Amino acid sequence: MKQNMNQKQLLQWINEVSFAVDDILLYLDTHPDDTEALAFFDYYNNERKKALEMYSAEFTPLTLDYVHENCHWYWVTDPWPWEGGMC
C-alpha cells in the first residue's frame, strides 16, 4: 500500500482489497486447507485493515471498528455522493 494516496485513491484501494478478501473467503469456504489461499487471505486482510485505519485517521471512519475517541463522523456533515461528495 502506498503511503501517499489521496482520499479517492485510498478509498479505491479499500474497495479493491475488500473485494479480494470477500472473494477469497468464498473460495476458502470450500477449500479450507489451501495454504496459498490462506496466505492470500492473510495478506489482503492485513492490507485492508491498514487501509481502513489510515482512512479513519486521515479522513473519517468507514466502519464502527475504526472509530477513535476524538473522531468526528463527517458523513453527517459532508456532501453525499449525489451532492458532489466522494464517489
Residue 1 has a pLDDT of 62
Segment 34-56, tens digit of pLDDT: 999 999 999 999 999 999 989 88
Q: How far apart are CA 85 and CA 74, in angstroms?
A: 11
Residue 46 has a pLDDT of 97
Which residue ranges make up each domain of the chain? Answer: 7-83
Contact 67, 75 (CB under 8 A): no
Report pTM: 0.75
- Give me the DSSP letters along 49-68: HHHHHHHHHHT--SSGGG--
Segment 5-43, tens digit of pLDDT: 898 999 999 999 999 999 999 999 999 999 999 999 999
